[in-house]
Amino acid sequence: MCAAKWSKRGFRGDREHSSRTGIARPNNVETNFYHAYASINQKLAQGGKIRYGEDEASVLPRAPRPLRIPRIGLYTGSGTSHSWLWFVELFDRMLFHDIVFLNEDMVKDGALKNLDVFAMSGGDTIRIAEGLDTKGAAELEAFIRKGGLYVASCAGAYLPLKSSKQYLDRFNFVDIKIANLSKTRPEIKRLASKATTAYGCDYVYHAVREDVLLRLTGRSPFTGVSTFLAPLYGGPSMITDNTSEVLAYYAGFTDKTQFLVNESLAQKTLIGRVAAAKTGMGDGNLYLFGPHFEHPHFPMANHLVATAIFWDMKKDRENREISEDEIILEGAAKDKLVRDIKREISNARIVSVGLEAVPIQWSIGCKIYEPEKIRVFLEAIWKRIDNLERLRRIRLQNKADEQLVDCACKVKRILRELKARIDDCLETQDIASDLFDSLRRLTMGFLQIYFNSFRCNI
Amino acid sequence: MDYLSSNKILIVDLETGQISEDDLDDELVGRKIGGVGITSSLYQTHKDKEPIVLGTGLLTGTMFPASALGVVSAKSPRTGNLAHAPFTLKAGMELKYTGFDYVVILGRSPKPVFLWLHDGVADIQDASDLWGADVWATTDSIRRAMGDDLIQTLAIGPAGESGSDLAQVCINYWASGDCWGFGKLFGEKNLKAVALRGMGLLEISEPEDFVDQCFDVFDKIKGGAFAGRRGIEDILSEMGEKDASEWLAPFIHRHSACYNTPYSTNTFVYLNEDSKTLTEPVEPEPGFLINDPCALLAFKRAGFSAQNACRVLKACSKYGIDPAAVAELCEKSGQKDTEKIEQSFSDLKGPVAIPDGGKFSSWSPAQPLFSDFGVSDRSAYLAWWTRRQAVAYLFGIHPIFVNMSPELSEELMIEMFNKGTGLELSQESLDTVIDDVCS
């Protein structure tokens, strides 16, 4: 199969192809997806009634059902990388503000019961499975069987695939095979640390990174467009049987595609294989995306994530009561909390910017972390502090303010120690691991307050 | 203020530890423009509490050429009057990006502290461990504690702590334009340093026009009268020391410019290593950055070798003492032994000459450089220089570079101010403010 190539100016070699396929390029129409979903969510939050495909909801397929705000759980537990922040960006831009950030303990404690949707992005699949363990797997299965929607990309897409490997064998929900699996380690052209992962006696290999071209099959609800782009960072190429619906195939490479193995193996591994699939389980569904459909630079892929959420979210969820443990901060107390967070995040950010000039990386689990990743977490907070400051009220769990500021102080302290150790040419691996874990907790804690607070200011 | 500004005036009372913020009103900007116009106004407002006021011009930190200036305004221990000291290198720009346009420091802290300004946050930090440290050690300690080597400091050394009228507020490790004894005021307030770091952004009213015109002006300036000249030695040469280049040449390692400044007004000399080496230095302190042309000139005229002049300049910066004043006292006493000069710092006392030009620092040579600006009569230099400095200190332009570039006219600065801020400043208003700050 010949792979079409997409460049900044259009397809390489076959310009007409782009118009034939109706490929959606980044433009104002795509950017307006965010506005369209934001309008839906805003109207629903204000108590408005909308039906699928009608009026403000014309971005969605038509159906004789009323829309409601989805309550979405986002997995941020151990084993996750920074890519869950891309889901955060998508949710924030589209005003999906009923978000619950979940770690493995919360999943095991039954937090999925209150959700319509559970989203999982990238990371180290085995560590994620290990963290969730048998109890987490059972909770996830029960959630989906009772009508919940599981939306996942990359590591989150590998998780429910059939596997006999320890920890993963608890999540054998879907009869889909991994196409990028090999008995022998293929010859690697570049980025060796990101190109393969041991998988039992086999190897999962990642043929390419960055943008790939995908072709939709036209199955509902992914209709109205033929091809689009999304970035691949280690996600699966899949082989489905007739129990799953294929939503999209890998269709080509682009000028931005980085080949980690030779091009012919990459073609064989990806082109014509399944990039996105939907599988039913009990009353619920799983949407599995090899590429990161939630990546913020890909509006069309983001639109498909939002469509999936609205289309297949749990149909009958009871409204959640506000926890008695929640408090509202206003006035000086709110200002003080924002100022305290701002102080510590600024201090941490200043150190992290300086670290980006240092040629260092850390191996945590089976993932490689560079200093640039530190700021990805901090910027996710920093860019939202002013919004939080402008809100009249902040809603949070009792003591969450103290915990958040303590965690921010800890991140700052670790970063300063890390910088001092680097200056003194000392080992940093041990504290780097602690740093990324603390960053994850800090960001999760902040964002939970951020999203909760939006809902109490409507 | 919506544009070219963080819209914040910070007020810090070191005595009570209280920190508050005021908005920077368009009305105040309309009346006083910025820079020393507003620092002077804030000084008058808080006069009873012995304020030290830090500020920037509205063009500081922008893409406008030479927009490197920050300013300290306070009552000079050496004159008893309000005076202004420029701070350049990257410190003026960094203050702008901390998220504060102006900082008013009041009262005396009960214990040694430093003020840490970052991203719109102001923290009073304990500096007990820093008290007694020289300027270099102070900057090193602050940078290490805060975990960032790009932090800019305005710091004092032992001279400021001991209450010398000659004490200088230094920039990082180097000298500044403080010829007013402001280092003593820092010491009296138990303020060891102000540390600056910010990663903020500036909004521009007409961004495309503003940026395009900045590039145009830059291109025009670079082909100007100073083209082909560089470093402090060519400034000295222009000031009449024709052999300055030969004198300093054996020690010159490199030249460097302040933020966005088209001429490198700073020269780094190697004193402990071969100045021609291009590899990383072996010595922890290989040399010194000379950024005070008048002090260097004074040592040269007093008969110092270049090496000894640079050694004394370095010692002055570590101790936090005004090198131009030290040069003047050395010339009077005839002392040329660098070790003895250094040992005498703690007892060094005036009188030293009070700078001409009223309120502006004599750190900037009181003459046109590389271009005559149409001022051929030397007797007219002082009036020309005073107005030129006032304009630089109001808008945030490097006060030495402003003497080199006639292209940076008052008309151009008004135009860029208006494009950047969306306000409508007129030449008449500028004249009024200049009269005000010079009086």
Using one digit for the tens of pLDDT, what is the confidence trace for B74-108?
Answer: 999 999 999 999 999 999 999 999 999 999 999 99
Instruction: Say how many domains are in chain A.
Output: 2
Q: What CATH number is associated with residue B134?
A: 3.60.9.10
In a domain, A318, yes or no: no
Angle, vertex CA B97, rays to CA B142 and CA A436, nearest 5: 60
Smallest CA–CA distance from A340 into chain B, residue: B121
pLDDT digits (tens, 9 = 90+) for A348-398: 999 999 999 999 999 887 788 999 999 999 999 999 999 999 999 999 999
Kindly state whether residue B373 falls inside one of the protein's structural domains.
Answer: no
Kindly state whether residue A154 falls inside one of the protein's structural domains.
Answer: yes
ipTM above 0.95, yes or no: no
How far A89 CA sits from the closest chain B CA (Å)? 21
pLDDT in the model for residue A229: 96
Alpha-carbon distance B372 to nearest alpha carbon in chain A (angstroms): 43
Q: Is the pLDDT of residue B132 over 50?
A: yes
Whether A266 and A396 share a structural domain: no
Residue B22 counted as domain residue: yes
| Residues in chain A within 8 Å Cβ distance of B140 | none
Contact B181, B165 (CB under 8 A): yes
Scanning the structure block, which residue is given the tokens 């000298």?
Answer: B175
Q: Is there a single domain that holds both residue B16 and residue B161?
A: yes
Rounded Cα distance, A278 and A312, in Å:
10
Q: Which residue has the tokens 């996942």?
A: A152
Angle between helices A429-455 and A400-423 (to 10 degrees): 150
Does A415 touch chain B if contact means CB atoms closer than 8 Å?
Answer: yes
| C-alpha count within 13 angstroms, C-beta hemisphere, residue B313 | 30
Q: Is residue B214 part of a domain?
A: no
Closest-approach residue (CA) in chain A for B151 = A350
Q: Which of A343, A346, A415 sits opposite B147 (nearest CB)?
A: A415
Cα-Cα-Cα-Cα torsion A435, A436, A442, A444, nearest 10 degrees, comes to -170
Are B268 and B318 found together in one domain? Answer: yes
Residues B247 and B310 in one domain: yes
Structure confidence by residue, pLDDT tens digits, B203-235: 999 999 999 999 999 999 988 889 999 999 999
Contact B147 A351 (CB under 8 A): yes
Contact B109, B186 (CB under 8 A): no
Q: Check residue B439 and give its pLDDT.
A: 87
pLDDT band at B356 (very low <50, low <70, confident <90, very high): low
B83 vs B31: CA distance, rounded Å = 20
Query: Tell me, what's the pLDDT at A319?
Result: 56
Q: Is residue B410 part of a domain?
A: no
pLDDT score at A318: 59
Q: Name the residue among B53, B92, B99, B85 with its Cα closest to residue B70.
A: B92
Q: Which member of A343, A349, A418 has the closest CB to residue B199?
A: A349
Measured between beta carbons, the chain B residues lying within 8 angstroms of A416 are 145-147
| Inter-chain touch B147–A342, beta carbons under 8 Å | no
Could you tell me which residues come within 8 angstroms of residue A383 by beta carbon, excluding any fewer than 6 positions away? none
Q: A308 with A331, same domain? A: no
pLDDT tens, position by position, A267-308:
999 999 999 999 999 999 999 999 999 999 999 999 999 999
Which residue on chain A is closest to B146 by alpha carbon? Answer: A416
Q: Determine, yes or no, domain membership for A322.
A: no
Q: What are the pLDDT digits (tens) for B264-299?
A: 999 999 998 888 888 888 888 889 999 999 999 999
Select from B299, B329, B347 the last residue of a domain: B347
Does A317 map to a domain?
no
Token representation of residue A22: 């109706």
Give CA–CA dist A372/A349, Å, rounded: 11
Sort out which chain B residues have CB atoms less than 8 A from A349's CB and list them. 119, 199
* A19: CB partners within 8 A, 6+ apart: none
CB contact under 8 Å between B148 and A343, yes or no, is: no
Claim to verify: residue B233 and residue B177 sit in the same structural domain: no
Q: What is the pLDDT of residue A321?
A: 55
Could B148 and A419 be called an inter-chain contact, meaning their C-beta atoms sit closer than 8 Å?
Answer: yes
* Domain's final residue, options A247, A279, A312: A312
Q: Smallest CA–CA separation between B146 and chain A, in Å?
A: 7
Distance from CA of A78 to the nearest CA of B (A): 28
The strand pair at B191-197 and B152-155 is best described as antiparallel
- One DSSP character per residue, A120-189 reads E--B-HHHHHHHHHHHHHHHHHHHHHTT-EEEEETHHHHTTB---STTGGGG--B-EEESSEESSPPPP-
Whether residues A438 and A291 fall in one domain: no
Same domain, B275 and B319: yes
| Facing A353 at nearest CB: one of B120, B121, B199 | B199
Among chain B, residues having any CB pair with chain A shorter than 8 Å are: 118-121, 123, 144-151, 197, 199
Name chain B contacts of A428, Cβ cutoff 8 Å: none
> What are the strands of the beta sheet with B252-256, ordered from one edge?
B252-256, B266-270, B287-290
Instruction: Please indicate, yes or no, if residue B267 is contained in any of the structural domains.
Output: yes
Nearest to B197 among A342, A350, A419 (CB): A350
Q: How far is CA B302 from CA A152, B294, B315, B332, B362, in A?
A: 76, 12, 17, 9, 18
Beta-ladder partners of A182? A203
Do A367 and A275 fall within a single domain?
no
**CA of B8 vs chain A CAs: smallest distance (Å):** 15
What's chain B's Rg over C-alpha atoms?
20
CATH code of residue A171: 3.40.50.880
Q: Which pLDDT belongs to residue A315?
A: 84
What's the mean pLDDT in B364-390?
93
- In terms of domains, do B170 and B40 share one? yes
Size of interface A-B (CB pairs under 8 A): 43
Rounded to a whole number of angstroms, the distance from the CA of B134 to the nearest CA of chain A is 21
Whether residues B36 and B90 fall in one domain: yes
**Last residue of some domain: A286, A312, A338?**
A312
- Residue A351 Cα to chain centre, angstroms: 27
Give the pLDDT score at A28. Answer: 54
Residue A361 burial by CB count (10 A; 0-12/13-18/19+): exposed, middle or buried? middle
Cα A147 from chain centroid (whole Å): 21
Beta bridge partners of residue A116, listed in sequence order = none
Q: What pLDDT was estimated at residue A23?
A: 40
User: Which residues contact residue B81 at a Cβ distance below 8 angstroms, ignoring those fewer than 6 apart?
Assistant: B75, B359
Token readout for B173 is: 């490790």
Examine residue A66 and say whether the peptide bond preceding it is cis (omega within 30 degrees of 0). no
Residue in B116, B146, B151, B153 to test binding to A, most A beta-carbons within 10 Å? B146
Residue among A339, A350, A418 minimizing CB distance to B146? A350
* Residues of chain A contacting B146 with CB distance shorter than 8 Å: 347, 350-351, 416
Maximal C-alpha separation, chain B:
57
At residue B231, what are phi and psi to the nearest 5 degrees? 75, 175
- Is the domain of A256 the same as that of A341? no
- For residue B169, pLDDT beyond 90: yes
Amino acid at A111: A
Per-residue pLDDT for B34 more than 80? yes
Instruction: Name beta bridge partners: A330.
Output: A393
Best CA proximity match to A70, nearest among A44, A49, A50: A44
Check CB contact under 8 Å for A350 and B147: yes
- pLDDT (0 to 100) of residue B179: 95
CB of A320 within 8 Å of any CB in chain B? Answer: no
**Tens digit of each residue's pLDDT, chain A (458 residues):** 334 433 333 332 232 233 333 344 444 555 589 999 999 999 999 999 999 988 788 889 888 889 999 999 999 999 999 999 999 999 999 999 999 999 999 999 999 999 999 999 999 999 999 999 999 999 999 999 999 999 999 999 999 998 888 899 999 999 999 999 888 888 888 888 778 887 777 888 999 999 999 999 999 899 888 999 999 999 999 999 989 999 999 999 999 999 999 999 999 999 999 999 999 999 999 999 999 999 999 999 999 999 999 999 998 765 555 566 889 999 999 999 999 999 999 999 999 999 999 999 998 877 889 999 999 999 999 999 999 999 999 999 999 999 999 999 999 999 999 999 999 999 999 999 999 999 999 999 999 999 999 877 76
* pLDDT score at A454: 85
Residue in B with minimal Cα distance to A355:
B148
Check residue A4 and give its pLDDT: 40
Of B119, B123, B147, the CB nearest to A354: B147
Residues A261 and A161 in one domain: yes
* Cβ contact, residue pair A420, B144, below 8 Å: yes
Q: Could you give the CA distance from residue B246 to residue B234 in angstroms, rounded to a whole number?
A: 10
d(CA B110, CA B112): 7
Residue of chain A with shortest Cα separation from B145? A416
Query: How high is the pLDDT of residue B274?
Result: 86
Q: Identify whether residues B235 and B185 lie together within a single domain.
A: no
With 80 as the cut, is the pLDDT of residue B28 above it?
yes
B142 membership: H or E segment, kind and range: helix B135-146
Q: Are residues A336 and A293 part of one domain?
A: no
Report the share of chain B in percent with pLDDT over 70.
Answer: 100
Identify whether residues B343 and B263 lie together within a single domain.
Answer: yes
Pair (A141, A83) in one structural domain: yes
Domains of chain B: total: 2
Tell me if B148 and A342 make a contact (CB, 8 A cut-off). no
Q: What is the pLDDT of residue A246?
A: 96
Selection from B96, B102, B200 nearest residue B152 by Cα: B96
Q: Which residue has the tokens 């951020």?
A: A450
Tell me, yes or no, whether B81 lies in a domain: yes
Contacts of A412 by beta carbon, 8 Å cutoff, 6+ apart: A344, A347, A348, A351
**Domain ranges, residue B147:** 9-197
Count the helices and strands in chain A (H runs, E runs): 13, 21
Q: What's the confidence (pLDDT) of residue A6?
A: 37
Residue A319 counted as domain residue: no
Q: Which amino acid is at A68?
A: R
For residue B196, the distance in angstroms to the closest alpha carbon of chain A comes to 11
- The answer to whether residue B310 sits within a structural domain is yes
Same domain for A82 and A197, yes or no, is yes
Residue A22 domain boundaries: 4-312
Say if CB A337 and CB A329 are below 8 A apart: yes
Query: Is B146's CB within 8 Å of A343's CB?
Result: no
User: How far, CA to CA in Å, does B222 sit from each of A132, B88, B392, B402?
Assistant: 63, 20, 19, 14
Whether A420 and chain B come into contact, CB under 8 Å, resolves to yes
Q: What is the pTM for the complete model shown?
A: 0.89
Would the CB atoms of B119 and A420 count as touching at under 8 Å? no
